[in-house]
Amino acid sequence: MNINKIRKELRKHADQKYFDVIKGFFKEGIKLYGIKTPIVRKISLKYFSNIRMKSKQEIFSLCEKLLKSGYSEERTIAFDWAFRLENRYEKKDFKIFESWLKKYVFNWGACDDLCIHAFGCFVFRFPEFIPRIKIWAVSKNRWLRRASAVVLIYSARRKKLLSSVFEMADILLFDKDDMVQKGYGWMLKEASNHYPKKVFKYVMKYRKEMPRISLRYAIEKLTPAMKKQAMKR
């Protein structure tokens, strides 16, 4: 696989207007061509069809090459390819996913893309790694802390790991970073789709301590009556 072919095609689809709009969503700054995500995913699928028969390690190696460029769109392709390998995941893959999280995630978009797809799927299949993920929740790296919550969303959407969701929320409850607060609030919101009463009970227990932004995210899918009660001071 010639990565330069992918980059050439990406450059053909670059849109300056979209570039100007999307860069404003990332305070940290972002390196990108300026291509809408649906187009990037079509390109990803096109080139994955050429490599799907390669070994998992060969594909992961290609993903790493894309990630090293720093371009958002190339990262999207890398994470998409990794997710397409879900049926081939093994416990040893935790190390490579965690290394990508630490080396190549510098904004909420990258964090969420990796964690609600490939890494989230991995954790769903191998929940024994939850103790390792709890370590992220106390990291100095804000994206690792956000990831500790967001990586559980894949499982929460499938009615799994609810106890881990609440345990992670406990650890992150007093986090001062708004990206982390939004992350664990989002995690609770996803859990509320299947367990509204349990999430409501949790929120009511901690609503006075929970940051307002986390609270608002967590109760978004609850009934109007539950929301009103949770928002009372």
Domains of the chain: 1-88 (no CATH), 90-233 (1.25.10.90)
Percent of the chain scoring above 90 in pLDDT: 89
102 confidence band (pLDDT: 50, 70, 90) = very high
Tokens 């009463």 correspond to what residue?
Answer: 197
Residues 6+ apart with CB under 8 A from 3: 62, 65, 66
State residue 22's pLDDT score: 78
State residue 61's pLDDT score: 97
115-147 per-position pLDDT tens digit: 999 999 999 999 999 999 999 999 999 999 999
Residues 6+ apart with CB under 8 A from 47: 1, 5, 6, 77
23 confidence band (pLDDT: 50, 70, 90) = confident
CA distances to 48, 94, 112 from 186, rounded to whole Å, are 31, 23, 11
Q: Report how far Cα 165 is from the mean position of its chain's Cα atoms.
A: 15
pTM of the model: 0.94
31 confidence band (pLDDT: 50, 70, 90) = confident
